[in-house]
Structure 1
Amino acid sequence: MAGYFAIFLVLATVTSGLIWLLDARLFAPKRRQQVETAVAAAGGKLPEETIARLTKEPWLTETARSVFPILAIITVLRSFLFEPFQIPSGSMMPTLLVGDFILVQKFAYDVKDPVFRKNLYRNSLPQHGDIAVFKFPNNPRLDYIKRVIGLPGDRVIYRDKQFFIQRACPEELQGNCPGLEQVRYTFAGDSEFTQQGLPQKQYTERLGDRSYSILQTPALAEQKQRYYRQSGTAIDEWVVPEGHYFAVGDNRDNSQDSREWGFVAEELLVGKAVFIWMSFEFSDNPDRVLPRWVPSGVRFERIGRIQ
């Protein structure tokens, strides 16, 4: 089931449209008939004020007629084209920061209806390195955003804070399948960010033809005891089932992702994050007079396409 806002938006659009249509087909003709009857009774002429009073729409119809086109446009844009999201946590740092407002391209993957999320149109599927928004598998009312590391059929290993991938092998290549490939990354320098007061380091990771930045906290050990256990594999190894994806945060030591809760089913996909349209900065200064939820600045330099 879609989020409550999506359901409310669809219901509001349908309700206002039905009210407008019902009035146009049933009540408006009756009002016009009243005017014609009154004109005939008055000998062919009525004051403009009387005509306006007799043809005036009820306030509910007038409101529905005014808001329906706006609601319809918003519903179509939000459901099938682009939907705005706000980044609430630091799991995708440094790519996405708390306070970033992003646009998610809904038609990048399968197009779904906004209420029951059933496929309406088969489009493309996520690729290695995509930043995808999806419904959290353990609670589909929550939206998560992560980077896609593993595709259906991929064998994914995360060992010593390093990803290795053996890509899915099509049937026609059986016997000549690719081997285990290291997802290479290079040191990009000490980061300005910290985790639990510990310094973080920034790396540039390359997955296929995608390059992007990630963060690691060297002082923190891998939390393998929290990893999702898949039958028949090692504790730090996963084979992505058909119709599922393996998605992780760019802030590798500060992200709850597929390493902990498993795979993302294809039907849970919402869309692909493509653009930062606004970015607010928030202050943690305890001496600040304004509440923490009030922005302390705007990061105009972050506006642009998402890598």
Structure 2
Amino acid sequence: MSLITGVLYAALIAYLGGWYLGQWQGNFALLLFILTMVTLVYWLAERYKFRPAREAAAARLLEQDQARRGQLASQGISQVDGNVEEARARLLMQPWWLDWTAGLFPVICAVFLMRSFLFEPFKIPSGSMIPTLLVGDLILVNKFHYGIRLPVINKKVVDNHNPERGDVIVFRFPVNPSIDYIKRVVAVPGDEVSYINKKLYINGKLIEQMPLAEFYDEDSMRYTLQYSEKLGAAEHRILVDKDRPGYIPERAIEQFPHREMCRYSGEGVTCKVPQGYFYAMGDNRDNSQDSRYWGFVPEENIVGKAFVVWMNFGDFKRIGFFN
């Protein structure tokens, strides 16, 4: 068993190493599920086979020691060499391969359940959601807000809230579902959404942009126009780069499902959102690859609702809830 456990750990290290180095795309949910099942097998084997066997061996040792002491006592010998308790403790001790498998099962199982059904952590990798979220923000995503889904296969089994305009969502990228994206929902099924000349319209109604102080981006060391926008119940901030064109180059547009429901022009884009889909955009409007480029977000791709920055090691002031 120690050899099998060593091989499993070697395979895990190789997999994680290749994932970290970008040799292949990883599926962390599947990996965590496999780890949970493997450690469960070891935990059950420990509870019902290995530990009872060790306890039986320790009990036999005590019986043998007591019988030996009884024989010696009958011969008038009361002082007996040997520390039976030390030997018994060694017999009861878990071998390393059980300590690192069965012993980890409760922790891995708790993480798997929490990540699958409650909250999942993510790290913001790009600036598409500036100024709401900055690169390096560590956020939590509410996995049950939109309903309960089975892990790995992402099949919804219990409905809850529907995504609303203004929600910040994490979803599996429609072009490559192994990658997670984060954007803001700007339109829901049945809406007609337009982004014309850097103005957002929902069902023909202009979404007002209230000017704010310019935003200074420390990475690019430049100022960008900043506005307050209201989608749904909560206000949020957006950035608009006045030097970028408002239209989407034809070569940058993917051939996505329901592409016929969108009209592109030199001024921008207008789309009718089909049932079961959502239209998502980044708050950094001119620096975001979003639904304008690759189309609608399928409802089954949604992972959850992002709601709090729990850590940013470069700026502790970033910790807190956001709209």
Same-fold call, TM cutoff 0.5:
yes
Q: Which amino acid aligns with 2:87?
A: T
Counterpart in 2 of 1:150? 187
Structure 1 residue 233: Cα displacement = 4.5
Equivalence map 1:185-196=2 (5 Å): 185-193=209-217
Taking structure 1 as the reference length, what is the TM-score of the superposition? 0.82
Counterpart in 1 of 2:47? 24
Contact 1:246-1:264 at 8 Å conserved across structures: yes
Counterpart in 1 of 2:320? 304
Counterpart in 2 of 1:267? 300
Q: Could you say what secondary structure the match of 1:157 adopts?
A: strand
Q: Could you say what secondary structure the match of 2:249 adopts?
A: helix
Counterpart in 2 of 1:215? 239
Q: Which amino acid aligns with 2:263?
A: A
Contact 1:190-1:202 at 8 Å conserved across structures: yes
Counterpart in 2 of 1:86? 123
Contact 2:238-2:283 at 8 Å conserved across structures: yes
Larger radius of gyration: 2
Q: Could you say what secondary structure the match of 2:312 adopts?
A: strand
User: Cα distance 1:126–1:232, how it changes in 2: closer, same or farther (>3 A)?
Assistant: closer
Q: Distance in 2 between matches of 1:113 and 1:57?
A: 34
Structure 1 residue 150: Cα displacement = 0.7
Counterpart in 1 of 2:288? 255
Counterpart in 1 of 2:113? 76
Match of 1:278 among 307, 311, 317: 311
Counterpart in 2 of 1:172? none
Structure 1 residue 49: Cα displacement = 2.7
| Residues 147-171 of structure 1 deviation map (CA, whole Å, 9 limit, x = unaligned) | 00010111111111111112xxxxx
Contact 1:244-1:263 at 8 Å conserved across structures: yes
User: Cα distance 1:51–1:102, how it changes in 2: closer, same or farther (>3 A)?
Assistant: same
Structure 1 residue 135: Cα displacement = 0.6
Equivalence map 1:158-177=2 (5 Å): 158-166=195-203
Q: Could you say what secondary structure the match of 2:177 adopts?
A: strand
Pick which of 254-263 and 195-204 moved more: 195-204
Q: Could you say what secondary structure the match of 1:274 adopts?
A: strand
Contact 2:174-2:297 at 8 Å conserved across structures: yes
Q: Which amino acid aligns with 1:222?
A: G
| Residues 258-287 of structure 1 deviation map (CA, whole Å, 9 limit, x = unaligned) | 01100000111011111111224xxxxxxx
Taking structure 2 as the reference length, what is the TM-score of the superposition? 0.78
User: Cα distance 1:54–1:191, how it changes in 2: closer, same or farther (>3 A)?
Assistant: closer
Contact 1:194-1:200 at 8 Å conserved across structures: no
Percent identical across equivalent pairs?
A: 40
Q: Distance in 1 between matches of 2:312 and 2:92?
A: 49
Counterpart in 2 of 1:121? 158
Counterpart in 2 of 1:141? 178
Q: Distance in 2 between matches of 1:145 and 1:243?
A: 18
Q: Which runs of 5+ in 2 are unaligned?
A: 1-24, 70-82
Match of 1:234 among 252, 263, 269: 263
Q: Distance in 1 between matches of 2:142 and 2:198?
A: 31
Contact 1:195-1:254 at 8 Å conserved across structures: no
User: Cα distance 1:188–1:40, how it changes in 2: closer, same or farther (>3 A)?
Assistant: closer
Contact 1:199-1:217 at 8 Å conserved across structures: no
Aligned residues: 276
Q: Distance in 2 between matches of 1:231 and 1:105?
A: 33
Structure 1 residue 214: Cα displacement = 0.3
Q: Distance in 2 between matches of 1:103 and 1:36?
A: 50
Q: Distance in 1 between matches of 2:85 and 2:219?
A: 72
RMSD of the TM alignment (CA)? 2.4
Q: Which amino acid aligns with 1:101?
A: L
User: Cα distance 1:194–1:234, how it changes in 2: closer, same or farther (>3 A)?
Assistant: farther
Structure 1 residue 127: Cα displacement = 0.6
Equivalence map 1:99-110=2 (5 Å): 99-110=136-147
Match of 1:9 among 16, 20, 32: 32
1:200 and 2:224 aligned: yes
Counterpart in 2 of 1:173? none
